[in-house]
Amino acid sequence: MSAGGASPGGVAGAGPLPPVGAGTVTTPAGVRAAGVHCGIKADRPDLALVVTDAPAAAAALFTTNRVAAAPVQVCRAQVARGQAQAVVINSGNANACTGLQGLRDAWEMVDLTAAALGLARDLVLVASTGVIGVPLPMARLREGIPAAARALGPHGDRAAEAIRTTDAFPKTGAVQVEIGGRPVAVGGMAKGAGMIHPRLATTLAVLTTDAAVAPAVLRQALREAVDASFNRISVDGDTSTNDTVIALATGAAGHPPVRTVAEPGFAVLRDALTALARHLALLVVRDGEGATKVVEVAVTGARSAAEAQRAAEAVMTSPLVKTAFYGTEPNWGRILAALGRSGAEVDPDRVTVTLGGVEVVRGGVGVADRLPAAAAAMREPAFTVAIDLGLGTGAWHGWTCDLTEGYVRLNSGYLT
């Protein structure tokens, strides 16, 4: 699946990724979920719970922001054991920059969930999303978490709805593959529309699978999947305090466990996770606050992959470039200026740029008669900016969106 029309591609030299279809976190066997309203938000679902029938292999990745929210700190400690059975997520309040009280509240969310489900405390993971700097309304969570536990069922759609903040729509999907001769499902949900940038992409996501896999192997598969998806998107260049991507593997598919990355099942699971994670990540970009376009930025010909990434991210995060995307203006000078300040090695005389398949720069000089065709290509809801630096074999690509008045309106009145 290719959200927004961007190319799906493969992973680490592998073949095409498996297709993504309809489904949720409860598509894999052995997973239940709930989404309820507990009163953090005025009138929308704001509390999600995902539970496996038995302890599951668990892995997670977190924000690289040094200002890490309390639930990130707690979840990081909890998931280190490599096993979990429940994930509790509230929206409407990030529980970030809330000091020792925030940590106590995050641990209380863990304890409330464990008590409601009859689980050991160390099997519960926690995440939060919403406004920074406001204490959690714990009285509401003390009532809401037991209510969510009572509502558990095949309700992945309700859980996805409950983790939304400024999202215009819930983000879900599922992949079907085969490991060891047995059908295996991977399902998931994500949220995110603003404060999105690579290095965990400022989102919350829960990916589930009924594959049988060792925790260390699941961790490696998740890391590779995130590097090819959530770590390649940017809406506004801001990395959140709360980024959390969690993977749970129930083992209910019944195939022999995948215990090493050398086994064929590892690549199958990694590619399934990657396909789903990329699907969800592209939905985040499509839902970027105020966005009207999904834009893939692909850099080739760099001295190294790291330099290609630097160059691409400079273009992806430039307000001048992103407003030109919105205005369907093929202002290629802004792209070259972003490349020049990116920190990557750039020789202007070797740079080629195409917009939506239309070459607008050749050898660092504009191709004037191609600008009308480029402007037309930029009116599509999804297009690619392809940049060849002409210096080497390094390549990297990611996805961004345009910058509109809608983003400014939303983020200039977020608290009021």
Does 402 lie in the same domain as 267?
Answer: no
The beta strands (E) that lie in 192-231 are given as 204-209
Does 318 lie in the same domain as 272?
Answer: no
Any domain includes 12 = no
Comparing 324 with 202, which gets the higher pLDDT? Answer: 324
Does 277 lie in the same domain as 305?
Answer: no
Whole-number Å distance between alpha carbons of 233 and 199? 9
The residue out of 256, 286, 316 marking a domain boundary is 286
Sorting pLDDT into bands at 50, 70 and 90, what band is 6?
A: very low
Does 104 lie in the same domain as 231?
Answer: yes
Contacts of 375 (CB under 8 A, 6+ apart): 328, 329, 330
Any domain includes 247 = yes
**Candidate list 113, 202, 208, 317, residue with the active-site label:** 202
Q: How many CB atoms lie within 10 A of CB 20?
A: 25
Asked if 202 is an active-site residue, the reply is: yes
Q: Look at residue 11 and tell me whether its pLDDT is greater than 50.
A: no
Any domain includes 7 = no
| Percent residues over pLDDT 70 in the chain | 93
Whole-number Å distance between alpha carbons of 391 and 388? 8
Whole-number Å distance between alpha carbons of 364 and 389? 10
What average pLDDT does range 332-344 have in this prediction? 97
Which of 98, 101, 163 is CA-nearest to residue 126?
163
Does 132 lie in the same domain as 265?
Answer: yes
The residue out of 286, 314, 343 marking a domain boundary is 286
Q: How many CB atoms lie within 10 A of CB 12?
A: 11
Sorting pLDDT into bands at 50, 70 and 90, what band is 161?
A: very high
Q: Look at residue 326 and tell me whether its pLDDT is greater than 60.
A: yes
Sorting pLDDT into bands at 50, 70 and 90, what band is 162?
A: very high
| DSSP string for 151-190 | T-BB-HHHHHHHT-SS-SS-EEEEEEEEETTEEEEEEEEE
Looking at the structure of the chain, the number of domains it has is 2
What average pLDDT does range 389-408 have in this prediction? 93
At residue 236, the pLDDT reads 74
| Percent residues over pLDDT 90 in the chain | 84
Q: Find the Cα–Cα–Cα–Cα dihedral 95, 231, 25, 271, rounded to 10°.
A: -160
At residue 411, the pLDDT reads 78
Does 239 lie in the same domain as 194?
Answer: yes
Does 343 lie in the same domain as 267?
Answer: no
Does 245 lie in the same domain as 325?
Answer: no
State the average pLDDT for the chain.
92
Query: Tokens representing 157?
Result: 């759609």
Continuous segment of H or E residues that includes residue 393: none
Task: Give CA separation, 204 vs 57, 84, 167, 305, in Å.
Answer: 19, 17, 12, 27
Span 208-256, pLDDT tens digits: 999 999 999 999 999 999 999 999 998 877 778 899 999 999 999 999 9
Does 354 lie in the same domain as 398?
Answer: yes
Query: Tokens representing 77?
Result: 């400690």
CATH label of the domain that carries residue 80? 3.60.70.12
Contacts of 140 (CB under 8 A, 6+ apart): 38, 39, 40
Does 307 lie in the same domain as 281?
Answer: no
| DSSP string for 260-275 | STTSHHHHHHHHHHHH
Largest alpha-carbon pair distance within the chain? 69
Any domain includes 201 = yes
pTM of the model: 0.92
Which of 183, 127, 182, 173 is CA-nearest to residue 273?
173
Residue 324: which domain range? 294-411
Whole-number Å distance between alpha carbons of 374 and 133? 44
Distance of CA 206 to the CA centre of its chain: 10
At residue 234, the pLDDT reads 87
CATH label of the domain that carries residue 340? 3.10.20.340
Span 66-120, pLDDT tens digits: 999 999 999 999 999 999 999 999 999 999 999 999 999 999 999 999 999 999 9
At residue 199, the pLDDT reads 65
Whole-number Å distance between alpha carbons of 347 and 227? 28
Any domain includes 6 = no
Any domain includes 1 = no
Does 123 lie in the same domain as 214?
Answer: yes
The residue out of 241, 261, 286 marking a domain boundary is 286
Does 135 lie in the same domain as 49?
Answer: yes
Span 36-49, pLDDT tens digits: 999 999 999 999 99
